[in-house]
Amino acid sequence: MQGNVICEPAPAETCRVFAPPRAAYIHIPFCARRCGYCNFTVVAGRDDLVDRYFAALERELSWLESPRAVDTLFFGGGTPTQLGVASLRRLLRLVMRWFPLAAGYELTVEANPADITAELAQMLAEEGVTRVSLGAQSFDAPKLRVLERDHAPQDICRAVELLRGAGTSRAPMSISLDLIFGTPGESLATWRRDLQSALDLAPDHLSTYGLTYERGTTFWGRLLKGDLARLEDELERSMYSQAIESISAAGLAHYEVSNFARPGHRCRHNEVYWAGRGYFAAGPGAARYVDGRREVNHQSTTTWIKRVLAGESPVAQSETLEPEDRAREMLVLGLRRREGVDRARFVAETGFNPDDLLQDAMRRFADSGLLETSGTHIRLTADGLLVSDAIWPYVLRR
């Protein structure tokens, strides 16, 4: 299949060919409850919308006009497993009619530990799911209550056991755990116990995220009112350093700022994002990148349903990045990965030299020990990883 040509001025080139996407994301907005820190597209306690959601999703997918084979397919949320066994099976089959899976595919489903039953685990295995991402967040009961999670520590262990025991002739499903650090009142000792509890389960993949307070969430409002307090920056950095040390020592490679994996278990779908490649998407709040154009669907689930069922576009935001802006964005994404940015490949893919884009910032960060360069690559140092969020604005700025 030929790529789609987007003509736009760029250094040393007049047209860029964008390869057809080989990845797709499906957003499922349903949750039993909305956690205080969540700013994703979510509806809590609205099972009455499920049938209309299916009708709208089927219609949005039909606008593809023909099936598109993909290498990676990711069902995120919200909480996909909130749908239950029958509805989730229906969803998987519906989507795979439009996004048939290529040989050697990766199929990920996000899951809440409390939702995993033997029947659900078996269904996921039977439908060809290769990877389950469990929103564990913590193994500490008081910390889970602060995070407003609806599962208990023992639910995580039970879920992992059930998923591993689900039988088919295929290889076992890859298990990924998400953990959050930096919760109000959390100590370094609590975080160390979380890390050890997760590693005791021998997951194939671990993601660790510092708690953020996003505008519009209930945590943001509580922070402004003084009901919650951020941890000191130095303590959060110590927690992040502890994660790198402990997880790496357990044999999981640190391959992206927040992600660790055993050999053969990296999240290939997320690597599509970090490589700046295209991807399809459907569902409320879903973001796609096709033919060099980024689109984001309306974040209101009810508005998305109404628009799609009325035959109207659900897109709320749309943009085609200027060549330099796209190159800068790809530079940030590349620096998130531990191998860093390959200079020659970056020039070939964007038409820009990363050294020219960074200029003074590169010298400043290199002198500060945050960035290291070689003849072939640019990458963040261990110290740079600790303050990476503060570095990105300098990379994106013209």
| Domains of the chain, residue spans | 18-274, 323-396
Question: Can you tell me the distance from the alpha carbon of 240 to that of 83, in angstroms, rounded to the nearest whole number?
Answer: 34
What is the dihedral sign for C-alpha 11, 16, 21, 27?
A: positive
Close Cβ partners of 43 (under 8 Å, ≥ 6 residues apart):
29, 30, 31, 49, 78, 301, 302
Share of the chain above pLDDT 90, in %: 82
Q: How confident is the model at residue 9 (pLDDT cuts 50, 70, 90)?
A: very low
CB atoms near residue 200 (< 10 Å): 11
Average pLDDT over residues 35-52: 92
For 145-189, write each residue's pLDDT tens digit: 999 999 999 999 999 999 999 976 577 899 999 999 999 999 999
Under a CB-based contact definition with an 8 Å cutoff, are residues 21 and 278 in contact? Answer: yes
Residues in a beta bridge with 317 = 296
At 163, list the tokens.
């998923």
Percent of the chain with pLDDT over 70: 95
DSSP annotation string for 177-242? EEEEE--TT--HHHHHHHHHHHHHT--SEEEEEE----TTSHHHHHHHHTSS-PPPHHHHHHHHHH
Q: Residue 163: what residue type? A: L
Closest alpha carbon to 177 in 217, 196, 40: 196
Give Cβ neighbours of residue 38 (< 8 Å, ≥ 6 apart): 217
Question: Is residue 6 pLDDT above 90, yes or no?
Answer: no
pLDDT in tens, 321-347: 899 999 999 999 999 999 999 999 999
Contacts (Cβ under 8 Å, ≥6 apart) of 268 = 71, 72, 106
Please give the torsion angle defined by the CA atoms of residues 162, 165, 169 and 175, in that order, rounded to the nearest 10 degrees: 60
**pLDDT recorded at residue 31:** 94
Using left for φ > 0, alpha for ψ between -120 and 50, and beta otherwise, residue 11 falls in beta
Q: Return d(Cα 335, Cα 313) in angstroms, integer.
A: 34
Looking at per-residue pLDDT, the higher value among 365 and 116 belongs to: 116
Residues 276 and 214: beta-carbon distance below 8 Å? no
From CA 151, how far away is CA 178, in angstroms rounded?
14
Domain 18-274 has CATH 3.80.30.20: yes
- pTM beyond 0.95: no
Q: How far apart are CA 158 and CA 108, in angstroms?
A: 19
Amino acid identity of residue 47, one-letter, is D
CB 219 within 8 A of CB 228: yes
Tens of pLDDT, residue by residue over 69-117, are: 999 999 999 999 999 999 999 999 999 999 999 999 999 999 999 999 9
Q: Find where tokens 């990845």 sit.
A: 23
The full length of the chain comes to 398
Please compute, for residue 223, the number of CA atoms within 13 A of its CA located in the half-sphere on the CB side.
17
- Cis amide linkage into residue 369, ω under 30° from 0: no
SS (H, E, C) 284-335: CCCEEEECCEEEEECCCHHHHHHHHHCCCCCEEEEEECCHHHHHHHHHHHHH
Cα–Cα dist 351/316, whole Å? 30
* pLDDT at res. 168: 65
Are the C-beta atoms of residues 79 and 30 closer than 8 Å to each other? Answer: yes
Options 1.10.10.920, 3.40.50.720, 3.30.465.10, 3.40.190.10; CATH for 323-396 is 1.10.10.920
